[in-house]
Structure 1
Amino acid sequence: MPEPAATILIVDDLEASRYLAGSWLRRNGYHVVEAATGGAGIEAVAEHRPDLVLLDVNLPDISGIEVCERIKADPATSAIPVIHMSATAIETDDRTHGLNRGADGYLIEPVAPAELVAVVESALRYHRARAVAELLAHRLTKLTEATLAINSATTFDGFLAAVAAGAAAIFAAPATALATTSQGSVRTASAAEDHRQSAGTEPAELDTLTTSLLQPHLRTAVSGGHELAWRPGRSSTIVLARAKPGADVVCVAVDDAVAATDQDRDVLIQLGQVSALAADALRTLSRERDLAVALQRSLLPRSLPSSRELPMAARYLPASRHTEIGGDFYEVTELDGRLLIAVGDVSGHSLDAALVMGEVRHALRAYAVEGHGLVAILDRLDAVVSRFHPEGLTTACLLLVDPATGSTEVACAGHIPPLLADAAGPRFLEIRGPLLGVGLPRPESTKIELPVGTLVLLITDGLIERSGRDLDAGMAALAGAVAHDANLEALCDELLDEFGRDAQDDIALLAFRREA
């Protein structure tokens, strides 16, 4: 696009001087605005925002020196070049005084037309170069900020919002970012110049345009090794980028407020490259998370037994939003009319912890099916952990429940004991036992009766244990949040919402109630 004609403001009380200077400048393609007084000149600067001011030193109302100082004192106009002109203040001290007070040049009248035009063009070249450099520095600063936000995003929607907001901030114009997730769905986000963000199913003009660029028949435009595409147009400036050949495309579009200069092109392409790499990393993370979810679910019960006499609900919450691999587990096994109900915790929330958890849970089920009692099961698990995983801390709590009679046995291995809630209120059972893997003798199991209407809650410590807070205080708070007649599914959700929002460890919980 050709640059628009520069606007020159001539401030001179002599009409003849304004006419001559204006005529010379207009013949050279400049747009000229005139003012006869200093006050009118200041108003014209505010109204027209000229690219350069030719300013007579001796004006009838305000000195040209003071007019120049006012222009330079205003942050909105301080960068405008001001050239003094005078036929009387022509001594060295006069010129030095004017330049020291803010002028960018000084011409002595009468001035030759060629000299006037040459001085104006020289000042404008410097002004434009400075403006371009300042704008580029500003955009690079915003690009750095956008890069940090983009690479800090942990969700795909958050990533797209960061890209759109970054583009809008860099170019001070509405922007849209669009990309495909690891599942192949197209997602988009938009941001206005004031950084207001929006997203939805009703695409705006930029959304429609960028969506069309990701249609299969247009993806070939960036195939065959051409990693980036640049398309300036009447309504938008668009960059398409991908992290590597064959990868999905990220599209960033900015509206027509952005001129397709080389600097704009380079900055937008850099933003596209940053976005493409971040999107590829998020897609990889998403695929890894999907695998982690599948593995975690394969290590936990696929479903809970359906029993009218003993309805139950369970939840598992990972320690991190980025992965569902952890060492907490719950288990329910049917044993000839009775139910073995257990929760356990292998220290850590990693793949190793999940694998140890899987071994412990499957060994637990195997020993239970063989007919061993609770203490014998824990002794055998203790031997397994001690021999094969001595470096890990493993806890468990086991209950053997007869739904028909309410007769129950309980045994713990270093785990938080069950919480019982009935009409008399909630309370934790006073049951203790050593961790698994330490080889210490265990107390006998505890026999209790569960009257009809009694609710039992089993948890892992991730639900209530927090840095700087005593575990007993967390147990007391949990007990105060449990009512014996609560809906089991709702209770699990409410406990996770109240206690699990800032969890730093995995959480497993299982609730059941004996019904008539």
Structure 2
Amino acid sequence: MNPSRTTVLVVDDIDANRYAMGAVLRRAGHRVVPLATAADALVELDARVRNGALPDAALVDVGLPDMDGFELCRRIKAHPEIATMPVVHFSAAATTPRDRTRGLDAGAEAYLAVPVEPEEIQAVVRAALRGARFRHDADARAGRLARLATATTALYGTSCPQELADTAAAAVTALLRCRAAAYVFGADGTLHAGGPPRNEPAATTAAVAPLLQRAMAGCTGVRSRIAPAPLWPSGVLPTGEEDGDARLILARSRADQPPVCLVTPVHATGGQHTRALLGHLAEATALAAESLRSAAEERHIALTLQRSFLPQHQPRLPGADVAVRYVPASTRAEIGGDFYTALPTPDGLLVGVGDVVGHSLDAATVMVELRHALRAYATDERDPAVLVRRLDRMLQLYHPEATATLCLALIDPLLGRARIANAGHIPPLVVRGRGGTDYLDVHGPLLGLGLDHPDPYRHQLASGDVLLMVTDGLIETRGTDLAVSMERLRHIAAANAARGTGPLCDALLSAFGSREDDVALLALRLTGLA
């Protein structure tokens, strides 16, 4: 610590002693603030705390008139803003081992018995300042490590490349207390900028991509590079100066992965410890980016596989307009067990939605088997209740650990007759063409439990009526009663049914927003009865 930049308080009620002690410290290059009482010292310290100009050390006489130096030291050490400031006691009268012990127990770093040589005073102050500097540096390192740990947790909690870039830039800013930027490649190769470059034109950000690739060519791990301003598009580097150089901290875990890059002003990363922390942060960002890309790829594969399990074409029958939708969970990459079916049969249109409990490849496998079994059973049997009983026995026999819900309806679009069986599912909603809505009172146990299933529920549909079936993923919300969500579904369906089955499905998906579970829904409107 440079003595010319240090401020030392000298607290002594005797003018000559203050002058002598101050003269010794000034000769060593320290700035001195002389004070006569403990009260003066506390007022001075309080003002400096408010102004952010804290002194570096204090020399305190033990025998002050208003408060002894021991109590003043205890108050200083009890104040969180100034507790780290070293205190050196001195006294010409209290010089016994007991006095020195009291001073050290009060929190002082040293105790001088005067008279004392000037060189010893200067050496003791230097030692106290050196210890304070070491403690300050250790606290700063501990704080940065704590911020690094917090930042790492935040990085792994991000859900997209743009959020990751913004979080990484904010983490660098918190670590260094300066402006910073971050660049992260998405799974599609798009470069996302976080921090000051966020508002730059897309072409400017895209121009950085090949520079990052070249800077990390053939390398893995963490690399630090100085980026001369002429190599970069104007205004991209967050130095706070036009056309300033910057330091790039690049990282990637594997050669087949694109790098991430943290960008900081050169002057903010001069220390080896600082650069090491930035390296750890860049490495964590690279791993989080790789995890996001893997999750995006897995989600794409899962969604493609899931959609391949569902019918690719909607059946077209005279007198009926059918629309179906399937939407995967917005926060999950696993394959779900939600499905819909719409089969033309000699007795009418067999429609339904179902949900195998769970989110895994096993759940999707059971879902596929249920759909195929239903198609096979429906070749010679169309009664929904009989089909539900057969599917229940199939699950018990081949998948005893699995359960599923299913709502199945056989509808004659020319006569409007509907026979419905429900196995633990949300009952279907009928939006009447003449106005009004009703949930049909059709219930039954889940598939796979081996319980008795009731005979089919019979309902007469009129021209213009809409039969709506949804899986619980559409309306179930954590913390909201299911009855409340079902009532909301009723109102939204009533307000949008007249627009058509497709727009109705889209309106429901839009109204209920991003979901934590898969969603399957089917809407059927009778367009003309005999």
* TM surpasses 0.5: yes
- What is the CA–CA distance in structure 1 between the aligned matches of 2:420 and 2:526, rounded to whole Å? 19
> Aligned in 2, Cα 1:480/1:99: closer, same or farther, shift over 3 Å?
same
1:35 corresponds to which residue?
Answer: 34
- What is the CA–CA distance in structure 1 between the aligned matches of 2:83 and 2:294, rounded to whole Å? 49
Q: Retained in 1: the 8 A contact 2:421–2:457? A: no
What SS does structure 1 have at the residue aligned with 2:31? strand
1:124 corresponds to which residue?
Answer: 129
| Residues 170-249 of structure 1 aligned to structure 2 (within 5 Å) | 170-190=175-195, 201-203=198-200, 215-230=209-224, 235=239, 239-249=249-259
Aligned: 1:260 with 2:265 = no
Deviations 1:449-476 (A, max 9, x none): 4212212111234456789999888767
* More displaced 10-residue stretch of structure 1: 93-102 or 491-500: 491-500
2:338 corresponds to which residue?
Answer: 328
> Aligned in 2, Cα 1:344/1:71: closer, same or farther, shift over 3 Å?
closer
- What is the CA–CA distance in structure 2 between the aligned matches of 1:342 and 1:61, rounded to whole Å? 89
* Structure 2 counterpart of 1:272, one-letter code: A
The unaligned stretches of length 5 or more in structure 2 are 228-237, 240-245
> Aligned in 2, Cα 1:186/1:415: closer, same or farther, shift over 3 Å?
same
Deviations 1:221-247 (A, max 9, x none): 334445112358994665322223332
- What is the CA–CA distance in structure 1 between the aligned matches of 2:174 and 2:449, rounded to whole Å? 59
Q: Retained in 1: the 8 A contact 2:185–2:191? A: yes
Q: Retained in 1: the 8 A contact 2:412–2:418? A: no
Deviations 1:40-85 (A, max 9, x none): 6556551532322344556788765565455334321111112234
- What is the CA–CA distance in structure 1 between the aligned matches of 2:450 and 2:75, rounded to whole Å? 86
In structure 1, which of residues 448, 453, 468 is the aligned counterpart of residue 464 of structure 2? 453
Q: Retained in 1: the 8 A contact 2:322–2:524? A: yes
Aligned: 1:76 with 2:76 = no
1:195 corresponds to which residue?
Answer: none
Deviations 1:78-100 (A, max 9, x none): 11112234556555555444444
2:235 corresponds to which residue?
Answer: none
| Residues 246-395 of structure 1 aligned to structure 2 (within 5 Å) | 246-253=256-263, 258=268, 260-302=270-312, 304=314, 310-318=320-328, 321-323=331-333, 325-333=335-343, 339-362=349-372, 364-365=374-375, 373-374=382-383, 388-389=398-399, 391-395=401-405
> Aligned in 2, Cα 1:256/1:221: closer, same or farther, shift over 3 Å?
closer
- What is the CA–CA distance in structure 2 between the aligned matches of 1:208 and 1:101, rounded to whole Å? 63
Root-mean-square deviation (CA, aligned residues, Å) is 4.6
1:426 corresponds to which residue?
Answer: 437
Q: Retained in 2: the 8 A contact 1:328–1:345? A: yes
> Aligned in 2, Cα 1:71/1:230: closer, same or farther, shift over 3 Å?
farther
What SS does structure 1 have at the residue aligned with 2:277? helix
- What is the CA–CA distance in structure 2 between the aligned matches of 1:212 and 1:477, rounded to whole Å? 45
Q: Retained in 2: the 8 A contact 1:24–1:117? A: no
- What is the CA–CA distance in structure 1 between the aligned matches of 2:405 and 2:97, rounded to whole Å? 91
Shift of 1:415: 5.3
- What is the CA–CA distance in structure 2 between the aligned matches of 1:122 and 1:25, rounded to whole Å? 13
Aligned: 1:513 with 2:513 = no
Q: Retained in 2: the 8 A contact 1:90–1:108? A: yes
- What is the CA–CA distance in structure 1 between the aligned matches of 2:480 and 2:80, rounded to whole Å? 53
Deviations 1:479-509 (A, max 9, x none): 5664276345565456557778776x54322
Shift of 1:328: 1.5
- What is the CA–CA distance in structure 2 between the aligned matches of 1:297 and 1:53, rounded to whole Å? 74
Q: Retained in 2: the 8 A contact 1:397–1:411? A: yes
- What is the CA–CA distance in structure 2 between the aligned matches of 1:428 and 1:200, rounded to whole Å? 53
* More displaced 10-residue stretch of structure 1: 221-230 or 494-503: 494-503
Q: Retained in 2: the 8 A contact 1:453–1:514? A: yes
1:194 corresponds to which residue?
Answer: none
Q: Retained in 2: the 8 A contact 1:213–1:219? A: no
Q: Retained in 1: the 8 A contact 2:326–2:521? A: yes
- What is the CA–CA distance in structure 2 between the aligned matches of 1:232 and 1:34, rounded to whole Å? 44
2:20 corresponds to which residue?
Answer: 17
1:412 corresponds to which residue?
Answer: 421
* Structure 2 counterpart of 1:455, one-letter code: V
Shift of 1:180: 1.5
- What is the CA–CA distance in structure 2 between the aligned matches of 1:20 and 1:496, rounded to whole Å? 80
1:114 corresponds to which residue?
Answer: 119
Q: Retained in 2: the 8 A contact 1:425–1:484? A: no
Give the alignment's TM-score, normalised by structure 2: 0.75
- What is the CA–CA distance in structure 2 between the aligned matches of 1:359 and 1:19, rounded to whole Å? 91
- What is the CA–CA distance in structure 2 between the aligned matches of 1:184 and 1:115, rounded to whole Å? 66
> Aligned in 2, Cα 1:301/1:126: closer, same or farther, shift over 3 Å?
same
- What is the CA–CA distance in structure 2 between the aligned matches of 1:89 and 1:434, rounded to whole Å? 89
Q: Retained in 2: the 8 A contact 1:460–1:507? A: yes
- What is the CA–CA distance in structure 1 between the aligned matches of 2:359 and 2:96, rounded to whole Å? 82
Shift of 1:122: 1.5
Q: Retained in 1: the 8 A contact 2:421–2:455? A: no
Q: Retained in 1: the 8 A contact 2:416–2:526? A: no
Shift of 1:202: 0.3
| Residues 147-186 of structure 1 aligned to structure 2 (within 5 Å) | 147-186=152-191
Give the fraction of aligned pairs with identical amino acids, expressed as a percent: 37
Q: Retained in 2: the 8 A contact 1:227–1:245? A: no
Q: Retained in 1: the 8 A contact 2:322–2:523? A: yes
In structure 1, which of residues 45, 49, 56 is the aligned counterpart of residue 54 of structure 2? 49
- What is the CA–CA distance in structure 2 between the aligned matches of 1:497 and 1:358, rounded to whole Å? 27
Shift of 1:182: 1.7
- What is the CA–CA distance in structure 2 between the aligned matches of 1:8 and 1:476, rounded to whole Å? 71
- What is the CA–CA distance in structure 2 between the aligned matches of 1:41 and 1:287, rounded to whole Å? 65
The unaligned stretches of length 5 or more in structure 1 are 191-198
- What is the CA–CA distance in structure 2 between the aligned matches of 1:65 and 1:257, rounded to whole Å? 43
